[in-house]
Structure 1
């Protein structure tokens, strides 16, 4: 009996016990569904996060105020520093000579209420003050209307650009928001632009609930002098990012009056460091998903081994006949391993399909993107072969070691 005949016999045996084969395949399918599904969901969420943060490129860096009150690894409270002031941020923008484009911006509030006529939004609207470069550097697109003009930036006019969630909350579907007046912080602002919807993780991003106003206008709202002004600089050549950050640090130390030997009173970090941090989180989620899937597959492997042991016992007389007709222990071992692997592959294919469906449903519910995880499908099918061989080896070894005479006497 050659390998081809062995495969044929194995498939015939599977067809003869179709119900048991289907139930056994379902055990494997559940394990693969768990593995592929969870990893698909994680990758779908990560894909959407990457798309949402695509504007945080490798050619830009941020200069932010250094928060006070934190404790270091030794438990000591770190030194407090004054936030970056408006004049300091603007001085940096005007004097930084490295080939680049710089924006100065500030977050006015994250809990603002916006009014239009008799309608009022929930108190979850973000108000951001930005200059002429803010929209371009932050990778924000204006779907309708326009950006701020140079005069509006210079004089801090009462104009604004609305996110899509704000538009939906205040205006009817057939109503044009452009040139309408909305009110917040006691002032009327004329709408000159509508931002493109970004969506993203969790079905929403802050940018969709954001209102952008001219930086000078935002500064007027700082009655207590507590605003933190941030700086983002985009350089022309990403390969020069480290050198540019060094130049920016030196200039900012000079502007802030940091003494030689003292630590920086501000923070300089690459914009893509946020993406790197999220990569670490999603890698952890991926490992957790792989671990849960592996545990499920372990249970499936034990179930398959038990089914194969039962199959060997039921077919003891058949094994004796085969050996009496000249089948070698190697061929008997091969036949049962083939059966085990084929059952695993049937379950694996079904599990991979279900995993794609379940994983993408979970990803969509969490605001992720639709993906087909070819890597995890391949990994799942390879695991099925390994599980089939491992689960089928002990029963197959037992069948191969049977004495043909004793097997023929088995009732």
Structure 2
């Protein structure tokens, strides 16, 4: 009884015991689908988030308040000095001086709870108002669906113009109605709509990117009556290879503007956009470990179920094993027969599990945030290897038991 014949017998056994094969394969399929599904969903979500940062590129950096909010900085349990916020004058001066090296944008968040009105129509009080300049859209990789960007004159004089999000347009304007050059009112002021942002979507039910309105940064600064706005700067180096050098230049410019003394540490923070991607990858790595752990536990339960089924199969086929041994089958060939049968069941279940997992993973990823269809080839290959390993582990004890049966006692078995 050679190896090829063992493969034929394994396939024949799978065909004869079709219902048992389907049920056993379903156990493996559920385990594999949970593993592949979770890992596919994690990769899909990561790809969508990474895409939102892709426009920043590897040659951009952020300058912001020390400690993110300009408050106290805590290091090693000690509360240190309070650093003053970056104000609009400092941010504008930096943009002007940095223009000799590269481009930059100054922006700030005005409020996240504005109500926007147009005639008798109004939005829920959850609209985000943000101030930006003529470079904001290009640096942040935000596209316009219609209309125009802020001009330098709009930014310089703080014109009462606005670029609205897609959801604002759909709420305040009827289908087919052009919002360009029409007026909307928020924060007690009237603004002329000059552009509509392309649909950006969001994560889950949070579609905040489509509920935002951009106004010129100069206009936004006039709303900063208490001096509490956080002004942030995103700079873009002239060349990715010069990013470190030009970040050093940016630090020098900002220290001069902020009048930081020679021995004094920076009174602001500067971070590469690349560090955001690195942090994202680190978080995704932890999620993968968690997903793999949960999938592994599910597969462990599936392998125990498969082992139980194979032990039942050995008991049912005791006489068959006795006949094979009487005809000259060696213990090695008997072990091979049951191992191959276990592996075949695992591979069949694994293939269906992979297909189901890819589908579920992509559905979850697209539900959280619209994106493309992802096929995780790496996880498919790993899952296929796991299927074979599970088949070997779950099938070995039943196969070993079958190979040790006494042929005479087996032939007597009823």
Q: Indicate whether the TM-score tops 0.5.
A: yes
Secondary structure (helix, strand or coil) at the match of 2:80 reads coil
**Which residue of the partner structure matches residue 7 of structure 1?**
7
**Which residue of the partner structure matches residue 235 of structure 2?**
233
- Distance in 2 (CA, whole Å) between partners of 1:200 and 1:274 is 18
Question: So what's the TM-score if we normalise by structure 1?
Answer: 0.96
> Which of 358, 361, 370 is residue 359 of structure 1 equivalent to?
361
Moved more, 31-40 or 51-60: 51-60
Moved more, 233-242 or 367-376: 367-376
Instruction: Flag the 1:5–1:278 CA change in 2: closer, same or farther, 3 A.
Output: same
Displacement of 1:196 in angstroms is 0.7
**Which residue of the partner structure matches residue 22 of structure 1?**
22
**Which residue of the partner structure matches residue 174 of structure 1?**
176
**Which residue of the partner structure matches residue 43 of structure 1?**
43
Displacement of 1:33 in angstroms is 1.0
- Distance in 1 (CA, whole Å) between partners of 2:347 and 2:362 is 22
Instruction: Flag the 1:95–1:156 CA change in 2: closer, same or farther, 3 A.
Output: same
Instruction: Flag the 1:326–1:271 CA change in 2: closer, same or farther, 3 A.
Output: same
**Which residue of the partner structure matches residue 140 of structure 2?**
138
Does the aligned pair in 1 maintain the 2:117–2:186 contact within 8 Å?
Answer: yes
User: Once superposed, which parts of structure 1, at least 4 consecutive aligned residues long, lie more than 6 Å away?
Assistant: none
Report whether the alignment pairs 1:375 with 2:378.
yes
- Distance in 1 (CA, whole Å) between partners of 2:310 and 2:363 is 34
Report whether the alignment pairs 1:63 with 2:63.
yes
**Which residue of the partner structure matches residue 389 of structure 2?**
386
Secondary structure (helix, strand or coil) at the match of 1:225 reads coil
**Alignment of structure 1 residues 175-324 onto 2, 5 Å:** 175-202=177-204, 204-324=206-326
**Which residue of the partner structure matches residue 119 of structure 1?**
121
- Distance in 2 (CA, whole Å) between partners of 1:281 and 1:219 is 36
- Distance in 1 (CA, whole Å) between partners of 2:7 and 2:220 is 75
Instruction: Flag the 1:203–1:50 CA change in 2: closer, same or farther, 3 A.
Output: farther
Displacement of 1:49 in angstroms is 1.0
Secondary structure (helix, strand or coil) at the match of 1:157 reads coil
Moved more, 57-66 or 97-106: 97-106
- Distance in 2 (CA, whole Å) between partners of 1:72 and 1:378 is 46
**Which residue of the partner structure matches residue 409 of structure 2?**
406
Question: Residue deviations 1:133-178, cap 9 Å, x none?
Answer: 1111111111101111222222111111111111122111121111
Does the aligned pair in 2 maintain the 1:69–1:78 contact within 8 Å?
Answer: no
- Distance in 2 (CA, whole Å) between partners of 1:228 and 1:22 is 61
Does the aligned pair in 2 maintain the 1:68–1:79 contact within 8 Å?
Answer: no
Displacement of 1:18 in angstroms is 1.2
Q: In structure 1, list runs of 5 or more residues that go unmatched.
A: none
Question: Residue deviations 1:351-391, cap 9 Å, x none?
Answer: 11111122122222211523122221221111000000010
Question: Residue deviations 1:305-362, cap 9 Å, x none?
Answer: 1111111111111111101111111111111000000000111011111111221222
Q: In structure 2, list runs of 5 or more residues that go unmatched.
A: none
Displacement of 1:69 in angstroms is 4.3
- Distance in 1 (CA, whole Å) between partners of 2:375 and 2:59 is 30
Does the aligned pair in 1 maintain the 2:73–2:81 contact within 8 Å?
Answer: no
Displacement of 1:96 in angstroms is 2.4
- Distance in 2 (CA, whole Å) between partners of 1:203 and 1:99 is 40
Question: Residue deviations 1:280-308, cap 9 Å, x none?
Answer: 22221111111111000000001111111
Q: How many residues align?
A: 411
Moved more, 401-410 or 158-167: 401-410
Instruction: Flag the 1:147–1:97 CA change in 2: closer, same or farther, 3 A.
Output: closer
- Distance in 2 (CA, whole Å) between partners of 1:133 and 1:363 is 32
**Which residue of the partner structure matches residue 101 of structure 1?**
103
Instruction: Flag the 1:170–1:272 CA change in 2: closer, same or farther, 3 A.
Output: farther
Does the aligned pair in 1 maintain the 2:202–2:208 contact within 8 Å?
Answer: no
Displacement of 1:35 in angstroms is 0.6
Moved more, 34-43 or 69-78: 69-78
- Distance in 1 (CA, whole Å) between partners of 2:298 and 2:152 is 61
Secondary structure (helix, strand or coil) at the match of 1:140 reads coil
Instruction: Flag the 1:180–1:368 CA change in 2: closer, same or farther, 3 A.
Output: closer
Question: So what's the TM-score if we normalise by structure 2?
Answer: 0.96
